[in-house]
């Protein structure tokens, strides 16, 4: 089994905070924004989510809603004349009237009424899903990419622009459509030749519906549902968008920075398994398409939605959410990585994010553990009063000093469907895999640069009694009320007790060892029940109390199972050590002495044999 050992060189500053021994419970100003997409403007953090949820914060803890939402007096939109308008009329007429087509010729663009494209009877209200907001450097405007969902895949992603991040946003034009198979009526026109009401001809030159899209009611077996956009700048300056949900997978296209819309001059070939096909008919193994771009994940109707790409350190990390989104249906964040913004994206075992056959990829009956897990359902951690479940549909960002953060919504084990925004700091372990800090972000106690250039603790300071929490792959996938309670109780993880000694031993409910793995850094390896977890030792506050510091470890096995540890009380005087600048190592790997892995239920495999614990 291959494991990657990669040293990262990031620029960040060192920071030390003093703490008071005060266990006063903190009451943060929480906010409910489903599918939160984070964007930073100056000293303010913004999240935009489904159903026009929007909020802002100065500290990532206390949030204030704005914009009015779908049930209030919405202030987020204006028409092309700049006059504020309600969301129901926000997608009728767009500002961009000319674009360059696939041959670079200037052509007429529109008008594309996005509400008219929705399936007949669908409304705008309740179907504005998962927007993503980004500042377009070339246009000097804030751009919102909104999913306007429709039944039977009659969905579209549109672009809106504003001078102010809080709006009002003006409809610029559509970016991509789905569901143009001539089978379903739309709000504005009949099913027959519905492709003519999209930008298919501008993107591909089509004069009739290509055979590969003529799939009747089987659209989702081959092609994406055009929702859940993520727009990001690649390191080379290109503006890219990932999108899609379940169905035919997650796809990516290049955008035109001048308009914020699709770059029609950047063309894609029709490829099946990365080769030109003999037939023009649809294939579940399509990897590139002239209209939909490049497939980067999923396919075959496997679970996966809410894609988000963020460059952290040396890699582009692709975040996705698997499973059903209710509190008992196994919703969980998975992560893949690539050194190219267009992929291929793989997990820690080198397994592709793109599927070549159907596999159930979540729940107790899953047949694959593909994708590194980030956080699972858990309770009883650090004084929390409610267990957290169904964490997902996340976004991420990196601050100016190289510190990374994941932003997501979480649900709870309180019997409701309520949800709140959470933020955890992210670190990259010595193998180039992401690990999430064990507690929500309450202020910067440990920086990325500190982890990579300082030994934050001596062996004696690390020693002590810890709470340990595993995040195994199994998560509940029940869909009836009686079974939900049983499965939730079974799969919601709770901490166990272990003791770390200065001599490197681990004893208690789980036995093993620990060691710092690189001189002058805080990279650490835990060996628990014969399995290695690589991560970092950091300082954090216990998030449910005021100013209670903790020594924390966050780590992950190469096959993607996270583990968290903490003990309350942290020495405020960090050991003074020489700062070591870590150069970026070449991408090398070491082959382990044994072929080691896990089966899909987490049972350890050594040289092909199961190692069962009695």
Question: Are the beta carbons of 320 and 356 closer than 8 angstroms?
Answer: no
Which stretches does DSSP call E strand in 208-283? 230-233, 239-243, 250-255, 271-272
Structure tokens at 122: 């669908």
- Averaged pLDDT of the chain: 88
- Of 9 and 82, the structure prediction assigns the larger pLDDT to 82
- End-to-end Cα, the chain, rounded Å: 26
pLDDT tens string 235-283? 999 999 999 999 999 999 999 999 999 999 999 999 999 999 999 999 9
CA distance 430 to 536: 9
- The pTM score is 0.89
Model confidence at 21, pLDDT cuts 50, 70, 90, reads low
Percent of the chain past pLDDT 70, that is, above it, reads 86
Cβ-based neighbours of 282, under 8 Å, separated by 6 or more = 211, 212, 213, 214, 215, 221, 222, 223
The pLDDT score that the predictor gives to residue 584 is 28
CA distance 517 to 527: 12
H or E stretch including 459? helix 459-462
The pLDDT score that the predictor gives to residue 329 is 86
Q: Is the pLDDT of residue 314 over 50?
A: yes
Q: Is the pLDDT of residue 572 over 50?
A: no
Model confidence at 366, pLDDT cuts 50, 70, 90, reads confident
Give Dmax (Cα) for the chain.
Answer: 74
Q: Is the pLDDT of residue 478 over 60?
A: no
Cβ-based neighbours of 138, under 8 Å, separated by 6 or more = 257, 258
Model confidence at 363, pLDDT cuts 50, 70, 90, reads confident
pLDDT tens string 318-346? 999 999 988 988 899 999 999 999 999 99
The pLDDT score that the predictor gives to residue 582 is 29
The pLDDT score that the predictor gives to residue 71 is 87
Q: How far is CA 75 from CA 168, 344, 539, in A?
A: 6, 40, 41
Query: What helix, strand, coil percent values describe the chain, rounded to 5?
Result: 10, 35, 55
pLDDT tens string 177-235? 999 999 999 999 999 999 999 999 999 999 999 999 999 899 999 999 999 999 999 99
Model confidence at 365, pLDDT cuts 50, 70, 90, reads confident
Task: Name the pairing type of β-strands 156-162 and 434-436.
Answer: unpaired
Model confidence at 476, pLDDT cuts 50, 70, 90, reads very low
């Amino acid at each position: 089994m291959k494991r990657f050992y990669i040293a990262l060189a990031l620029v960040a500053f060192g920071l030390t905070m003093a703490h008071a021994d005060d266990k006063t419970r903190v009451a943060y100003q929480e906010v409910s924004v489903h599918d939160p997409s984070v964007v930073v403007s100056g000293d303010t953090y913004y999240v935009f989510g489904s159903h026009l949820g929007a909020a802002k914060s100065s500290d990532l803890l206390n949030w204030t809603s704005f914009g009015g939402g779908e049930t209030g007096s919405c202030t987020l939109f204006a028409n092309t004349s700049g006059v504020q308008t309600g969301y129901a009329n926000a997608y009728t007429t767009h500002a961009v009237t000319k674009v360059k087509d696939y041959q670079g010729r200037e052509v007429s663009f529109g008008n594309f009424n996005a509400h008219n494209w929705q399936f007949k009877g669908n409304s705008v209200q309740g179907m504005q899903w998962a927007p993503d907001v980004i500042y377009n450097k070339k246009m000097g405007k804030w751009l919102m990419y909104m999913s306007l969902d429709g039944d039977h895949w009659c969905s579209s992603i549109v672009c809106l622009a504003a001078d102010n991040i809080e709006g009002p946003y003006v409809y610029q034009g559509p970016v991509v459509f789905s569901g143009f198979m001539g089978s379903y009526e739309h709000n504005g026109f009949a099913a027959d030749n519905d492709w003519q009401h999209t930008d298919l001809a501008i993107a591909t030159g089509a004069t009739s519906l290509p055979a590969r899209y003529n799939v009747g009611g089987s659209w989702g077996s081959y092609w994406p549902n055009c929702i859940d956009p993520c727009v990001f700048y690649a390191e080379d300056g290109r503006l890219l968008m990932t999108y899609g949900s379940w169905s035919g997978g997650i796809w990516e296209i290049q955008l035109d920075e001048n308009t914020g819309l699709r770059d029609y001059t950047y063309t894609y070939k029709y490829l099946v398994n990365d080769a030109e096909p003999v037939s023009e008919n649809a294939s579940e193994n399509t990897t590139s398409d002239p209209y939909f771009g490049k497939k980067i994940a999923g396919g075959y109707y496997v679970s996966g939605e809410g894609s988000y790409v963020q460059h952290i350190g040396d890699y582009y990390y692709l975040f996705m959410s698997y499973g059903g989104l209710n509190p008992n249906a196994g919703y969980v964040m998975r992560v893949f990585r690539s050194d190219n913004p267009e992929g291929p994206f793989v997990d820690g075992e080198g397994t592709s994010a793109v599927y070549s056959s159907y596999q159930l990829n979540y729940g107790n009956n899953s047949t694959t553990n593909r994708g590194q897990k980030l956080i699972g359902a858990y309770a009883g951690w650090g004084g929390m009063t409610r267990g957290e479940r169904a964490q997902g549909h996340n976004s991420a960002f990196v601050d100016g000093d190289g510190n990374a953060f994941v932003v997501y919504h979480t649900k709870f084990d309180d019997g409701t469907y309520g949800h709140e925004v959470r933020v955890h700091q992210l670190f990259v372990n010595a193998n180039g895999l992401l690990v999430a800090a064990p507690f929500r972000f309450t202020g910067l106690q440990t920086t990325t640069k500190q982890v990579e250039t300082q030994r934050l603790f001596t062996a004696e300071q690390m020693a002590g009694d810890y709470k340990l929490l595993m995040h195994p792959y199994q998560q509940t996938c029940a869909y009836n009320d009686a079974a939900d309670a049983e499965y939730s109780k079974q799969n919601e993880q709770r901490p166990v007790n272990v003791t770390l000694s200065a001599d490197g031993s681990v004893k208690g409910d789980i036995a093993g060892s620990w060691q710092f793995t690189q001189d002058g850094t805080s990279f650490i390896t835990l060996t628990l029940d014969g399995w290695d977890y690589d991560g970092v030792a950091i300082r954090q506050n216990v998030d449910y109390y005021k100013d209670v510091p903790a020594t924390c470890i966050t780590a992950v096995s190469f096959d993607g199972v996270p583990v968290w540890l903490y003990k309350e009380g942290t020495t405020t005087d960090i050991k003074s050590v020489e700062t070591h600048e870590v150069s970026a190592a070449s991408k090398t790997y070491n082959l382990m002495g044994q072929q080691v892995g896990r089966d899909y239920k987490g049972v350890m495999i050594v040289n092909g044999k199961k190692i069962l614990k009695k």
